[in-house]
Amino acid sequence: MGERKPAAKAKADEVVLLSGGNPQIAKGYGDGPVKAYIAAMPGWKSDLGRRIDAIIEGEVPGVRKAVKWNSPFYGIEDDLWFLSLHCFTRYVKVTFFRGTSLEPVPAGKSKHPEVRYLDIHEGGFDEAQFAAWVRQASGLPGEKL
């Protein structure tokens, strides 16, 4: 019988992209894991991720951050989240956990009654509307996840 070769491993500093191009980042709390996720977002999505992160930091001083389930989460307190991100092949999905309480309500519906989604495609980011939603969302009760 032939000798088995070990499976190829990613280098320590390489990030694996999961299906749809979502970066696989280890679970962690704080700015570091979120910055690592954003840096690993493919193509134009990384610039978008940096802009989203900057808007959230500007609108919510002292915002808490974490990466859970390969997605950045933002909240007012640890483990009480108002928003998360996730990369897909053609867009970045923003999840507002209390989205039905926002004005205007983001268009993307969910099977969860209060959740609403914002799908951001290349060149289609309304920063002013996003900032308004972030201000509103950060003032609502967070979702425990």
Q: Look up residue 21 and give its DSSP letter.
A: G
- In DSSP terms, 124 is beta-bridged to none
* Interatomic CA distance for residues 59 and 56, integer angstroms: 5
CB atoms near residue 111 (< 10 Å): 5
pLDDT mean by block of 10 residues, the chain; 145 residues: 43 70 90 96 96 98 96 93 96 97 96 97 97 97 84
Note the CATH number of domain 19-144. Answer: 3.90.1150
- Strands (DSSP E) contained in the chain are 28-29, 64-68, 71-77, 80-87, 91-96, 108-109, 116-121, 143-144
Q: Give the start-to-end residue ranges of the domains of the chain.
A: 19-144
